[in-house]
Structure 1
C-alpha cells in the first residue's frame, strides 16, 4: 500500500528536476509514489522524467499552463497515498524526510492534520541559512501571527485534510502555501518536528519578489482570513514588500513599506536595519548580508 504521495508541480525546470526526483528515490521509507505534474512545459521535461525507469514515478501533463497550484491540485486528485507531501521541481528532500513525517503522523492524534519541519535555504550554490520552525503544536492563532511552516517543501498532510478543507486555491496571486495552512488550521492543528529535512532554493523569478503579486496576495488573504491575521503579520507583509521593492532598486517605495512595518510592529529589528541601509542598492545589499549573518548565528 502506498503511504506517501509526493506531488511535484513543474514548469520548464528540466535542469533542476532530476535532483528533486533523486531526493525522493533516495528516501528510506519506500512505500511512496511520486506524482510529477507537468504544467505544459516547453523544455525537455518529458524526456527527463522518461529517463527514470521506476514504477513509483507517475508523470502527468496538463494541456495548458495553469499555474503551480493547478498542477498541485491535479497531483492531489491523482494521489493514492495516506499522506501527501509537496516537492517543487527545484527543491529536494533530505534522507529521512518520509520516515520522520510518517512516524509523526501515525503517532499523533487525528486532530493533527499535518506536520512540518525545518529546511535549509539556498540561492544557487550559496547557503543563506536555515528556516526555523516551531516544535510542537501549532494552532490557528499561531498562524495568524506568522507563516510558521513556511514553504510547501516543509510539510506533509493526511490525505483526508484535502477532502475536509478543499484543494489549494488556484486564484491566489501569492502566499499560496500560507492561505492553505490557514484553512487547514481552522479544522486541524499542525505539529512541528523541529528537524531540518529539506532544501529550498530561492529562484530569481519567484513571485515572492514581485511587489504587485505580493499586494494582490495580501488582499486575498485579508478577504479570506482577515479575522485571524494580527498586526505582526500585517507588519511582516509590509516588510517583505519593502524588500521586494528594494531588490528592484525601487528604494522610495521600499522605505515607505519598511516604515509601515515598523509602525505596526515596532519591536522587530530587521525593518530598522533595512530602512537604515535603504539609501543605495549597495548599502541595501550590505544590510541583507548582515541580516543573513545574524540569522545564521541565531539559527533562524
Structure 2
C-alpha cells in the first residue's frame, strides 16, 4: 500500500482538487493521510470524500509548518511506501501506478516521475506541454548536491517511518531537497527516474505562497536555506563546488535586485535548473557571465 501524505493549511477551496486527483488514480491500493496544519477544521470539507477515498485526518492545534505536518503524516502512515501531495497540486491518473511499477522491480527505493510546472490551474495534462517548464531530469547523484531537480509531488519512496530520518522542521524552504539528500546519503536509497509526466505542480504568478513570498525578502529565504544545505551536505568534488559557487552568485544577484525593488521573473529557477542540469551532466563548467540573463524577463 502507498500512503499519500497531504499537509494543508487554510486552503479548503484547493484541497478538493487534490483529493479529486487521487480519486482518479488507476492504482487502487493506497490511503490518504491529511494533516491540517492548524487551520479551521476540515471535517466538513472531507466528509463528501470519505465514501470515495480511504481517508484519515489529523488536525494540529496550531500551525507548525509543512515539515512538521508531513512528519505527522509519516508517523501515522501505514503503507509500505510514501507519496507526498501538496494541497494545491494534483496527481495525474497514472502517477501511483507508474511509481509502484518501478518500485516493484526491486531495484529502487525512491522513484520520481516528471512533473509539469503549471502557470495556471489545471486538472489534467494539456495536449501540448511546451508552454510551461517540465521537471523531467534524469537522476544525477552529484547534481543533487547542487540543486533540487525533483518535485515533491513526483516522488514515491519506500517508507522510512521506522528510521530517524524526517523532514527538517527548522527549514521553511527546500525541506524536500534536504530530505532527498538524507534518503540518498544516510539511508542509501536507490533512485529511479520514470520519464513520464504524472503530476502537476501549480506555480502561479502573483499568488501568495512560500515560493512567491520568498522573492520579496533580502536575503531571500532560498539564499539562507541553500547555505544551510551546503553546510549540512559538504561536497569534495570540484565540479560540484564550482556549480555551488555559481548558484551562490545567482542568489547574490537575485538579492541585489530584490533590494533595489526589481521584479524577479516568474519561474526563473526552472530556466536556471534546465541549463545547469544540462551543463553539469554534459561535463561543462557553469557560465558566470550568463547569470544576469535569467533576470532580463522581469518587468
The answer to whether TM tops 0.5 is yes
> What per-residue deviation string (whole Å, max 9, x for no partner) do you get for residues 80-104 of structure 1?
1111000000000001101100010
Tell me: CA distance 1:17–1:64, structure 2 relative to 1, closer, same or farther (3 Å): same
TM-score, normalized by length of structure 2? 0.77
> What per-residue deviation string (whole Å, max 9, x for no partner) do you get for residues 178-209 of structure 1?
11111111122311111110001125333334
Kept after mapping to 1: 8 A contact 2:253/2:292 = no
Structure 1 residues 1-300: aligned runs within 5 Å: 3-42=1-40, 45-54=42-51, 56-109=54-107, 112-125=108-121, 129-135=132-138, 138=139, 140-149=141-150, 151-159=151-159, 161-164=160-163, 166-186=165-185, 187-203=188-204, 204-209=207-212, 210=214, 211=217, 212-227=220-235, 230-239=241-250, 242-243=253-254, 246=257, 250-251=261-262, 266-267=286-287, 271-275=291-295, 277=296, 284-285=298-299
Which whole-Å CA distance do the structure 1 matches of 2:37 and 2:248 have between them? 29
2:199 match: secondary structure? strand
1:230 match: secondary structure? helix
Kept after mapping to 2: 8 A contact 1:242/1:253 = no
Kept after mapping to 2: 8 A contact 1:114/1:190 = yes
Structure 1, unaligned runs of 5 or more: 255-261, 278-282, 286-300
CA RMSD of aligned residues (A): 2.9
Greater CA drift, 211-220 or 187-196 = 211-220
TM-score, normalized by length of structure 1? 0.77
Which whole-Å CA distance do the structure 1 matches of 2:201 and 2:89 have between them? 5
Tell me: CA distance 1:67–1:120, structure 2 relative to 1, closer, same or farther (3 Å): same
Structure 2, unaligned runs of 5 or more: 123-128, 266-275, 277-284
Which whole-Å CA distance do the structure 2 matches of 1:79 and 1:28 have between them? 21
2:172 match: secondary structure? coil
Tell me: CA distance 1:79–1:253, structure 2 relative to 1, closer, same or farther (3 Å): closer
Kept after mapping to 2: 8 A contact 1:119/1:199 = yes
> What per-residue deviation string (whole Å, max 9, x for no partner) do you get for residues 199-235 of structure 1?
0112533333414321221232122112365321342
Q: Where does residue 126 of structure 2 map in the other structure?
A: none
Higher share of residues assigned helix: 1
